[in-house]
Amino acid sequence: MIVIPAVDLRDGKCVQLVGGEYDQESVRLDDPPAVARDWIRQGFGRLHVVDLDAATGRGNNMDVIRDIIREANGVPVQVGGGVRDDARIEELLDEGATWVVVGTRAVEDRDWLEEMAHRFPARLVVAADVRERQVVTRGWTKTLPLDVVSFVEDIGALPLAGVLVTAVHLEGQMQGTDLPLMEDVAEASPWPVLASGGVTTLDDLRALEHRGITGAVLGMALYTNAIEPNRIIEEFGA
């Protein structure tokens, strides 16, 4: 299993939110490209970048994203947040993103997801943001009557790069992740599963690996030094 630092962007800054609430910000760093560069310097081999403003219709951080990809200097970067048309996917890939994370429209518009998956095979990661097993969209503000496992099974034939499951109800709360949820999704998914939300300890990471998770996206645990980066690199590599 790999561990992927999250670089979440709001108003041009690197932030961490608590419980999926846009206004509940507990970490704010002024220079996101420098943050990304530091994670790479410490030995991480992949970055997860989210444009929170684009996800919630408050603008975008495209200039910062370009700088982060440039600072990554060839290290794979997956970028998401507000990606709802083919032009945005193309723009991010052209700027050097290795994968594009698609969420709201991918969940709400199956025909669009199918078209994009075949147009950009193995380049899209579907973000299934979840609150108590129900999929949420539009920056975690809309709850759909859709069980995440059923959703993953339904799109299983598409040529995706993976699926990212975020336990929104645990995001940023440092209380551990939702292991039963992640295990069920891993069993249902034909592609790699990335887990996010609530991962707090090395034991959480070991438990995710044991349940078949391919990668874990870490935010708060890294930014608060709850898990020392060197310990992660030693055990899970890059």
Which residues are designated catalytic? 8, 129
Residue with tokens 């041009």: 12
Instruction: Read off the tokens for 142.
Output: 């809309």
Residue of 185, 209, 205 whose CA lies nearest to 127 = 185
Encode burial over 14-41: b for 16+ CB neighbours within 10 A, e otherwise: bbbbeebebeebbbeeeebbebbbebbe
**CA–CA separation, 189 vs 203, rounded Å?**
23
In 3-state terms, the chain is what percent helix, strand and coil (to 5)? 40, 25, 35
The Cα 137–Cα 127 span in angstroms is: 9
